[in-house]
Amino acid sequence: MIKIKDCEIGDLYNLIEPFFKPKPLFSSPRNKFERISNLITNTNGEILIYNYSEMIAFNAQIEEIIFGGSQINLDQVKNAYRFLSIINQYPPIHINRIADHEIEYKVAFQRFNKLVDFCDFNLEDGLERNIRILKGLNDDEISYKRRAEQMTKAYEAWCVKNQLYSINKKKLKRGGFLNKIYEIFDYENFSKSKGYEFVKSLNLPVCPYCNRQYISIEGNDKLKGTRPDIDHFFPKSKYPYFALSIYNLIPSCKVCNSSFKGAKDFFILEHIHPYFENFGSGAVFKMEGETETYFNNVNQFNLKLINSHTEKEKVENSNHTFKLENLYDNNHKDYALEIYQKAEAYPEDYLKSLEGVFNKPIKDNIRLLIGNYISKNDFSKRPLSKLTRDLFDQFELWVRWKIDKSDFDKE
């Protein structure tokens, strides 16, 4: 995952601001929507440029309005849900570790039992049946995985009951809570009339989530062609008040957005945010095999994502959501092998000889030789540039080719 370069926030704000339509301030707010509407209006449009931490803080204020006065500690419920979501969404890596978290699991289960006892559920789509099942479970009757699924549905049912979000957007009632929020944040018309211009303004040729796919733009807002998806990092179905927030709009490929991410809740399970973070040198791809001194074919090694990041859990969540290690290992080992073979084949003298032939800076000559960018500042220019740089580091080509690494580390 790579970082989106800094952009002209003022220009993007001017692009989005016409679609932000706050309601008049209510002098005596009577219901949740009126209180939330006042909160939104009082931001004076700054909600459109809220950064990551500001969005989290604002969401806490919204939840206080929606869940205010509840006898259930919302943070405890969300922490329990977060643990259960890890089990539910990522069973291959976590399901065999459940025994290591048995105490945490039982605490989560107790919290959800309290939640079920407190809430008066009367919902459609059989959700009340899930609650009854949940209340009757014990360790001998059902698997951890199945219980985690039931608890997840119980939490989501509670959110729907309290109008936090709707599981099924098609069932929104006219004049309902979410529709009123969508009237304030008119993302639908923004996407139709300014989507191309917004994405083009970011100058981002490659998907920041995977660094595997070009996200090309052809056409414009009047003459439609193709453009990347615009993902809502915090999904607008659950957090509609961030539907137009610039730092919540991530241009991305359809595989990452539609096939993998969908409406996964990144408030609950934190992920690397591409406007503010990246994998950097803390999470790197590496060729690993029986021997690391010689590779002759793709069957001799695997591509592994080595995670020593300061935000290790965020990286792990991002890896599993976007299936990064699997995609790279299954699809790009031939590319990695080519980088390795070029590193073995070309001595320092060959790199120097290119300076006389093309009269170009060393960065350009390395790109000609390797076939990709290796400067951190250039990762967004071409697919697989992050992988290329990681392998460049693994094979210590800085030393072998006598290159000043500091020139390539600026972001």
Domain range annotation of the chain: 9-64+185-261, 74-161, 283-408
Tokens encoding 195:
């989507």
pLDDT at 108: 52
| C-beta atoms surrounding 329 within 10 Å | 18
- Look at residue 80 in the predicted model and tell me its pLDDT: 53
How confident is the model at residue 190, as a pLDDT?
A: 97
What is the rounded distance in angstroms from the CA atom of residue 135 to the CA atom of residue 277?
Answer: 41
Q: How far apart are CA 241 and CA 46, in angstroms?
A: 12
Question: Burial code of 97-129, b = ≥16 C-beta within 10 A, e = fewer?
Answer: ebeebeeebeebbebbeebbeebebebeeebee
pLDDT of residue 120: 37
Distance of alpha carbon 104 from alpha carbon 87, whole angstroms? 12
Q: What is the 3-state secondary structure (H, E, C) of the chain?
A: CCCCCCCCHHHHHHHHHHHECCCCCCCCCCCHHHHHHHHHHCCCCHHHHCCHHHHHHHHHHHHHHHHCCCCCCHHHHHHHHHHHHHHHHCHHHHHHHHHHHHHHHHHHHHHHHHHHHHCCCCCCCCHHHHHHHHHCCCCCCCCHHHHHHHHHHHHHHHHHHCCCCCCCHHHCCCCCHHHHHHHHECHHHHHHHHHHHHHHHHCCCECCCCCCCECCCECCCCCCCECCEEEECCCCCCCHHHCCCHHHEEEECHHHHHHHHCCCCCCCCCCCCCCCCCCCCCEEEEEEECCCCCCCCHHHEEEEEEECCCCHHHHHHHHHHHCHHHHHHHHCHHHHHHHHHHHHHCCHHHHHHHHHHHCCCHHHHHHHHHCCCCCHHHHHHCCCHHHHHHHHHHCCHHHHCCCCHHHHCCC
Please give the pLDDT value at position 329: 96
Contact residues for 193 (Cβ-Cβ < 8 A; gap 6+): 221
pLDDT in tens, the chain (411 residues): 899 988 788 999 999 999 999 988 888 888 878 888 999 999 999 999 999 999 999 988 887 776 554 444 445 555 555 555 554 454 433 434 444 555 555 555 555 555 444 443 333 333 444 444 444 444 444 454 555 555 556 555 555 555 444 433 444 444 466 778 888 999 999 999 999 999 999 999 999 999 999 999 999 999 999 999 999 999 887 788 999 999 999 999 999 999 999 888 787 678 999 999 999 999 999 999 876 566 788 888 999 999 999 999 899 989 999 999 999 999 999 999 999 988 888 877 888 788 777 788 888 888 988 999 999 999 999 999 999 999 999 988 888 888 888 888 876
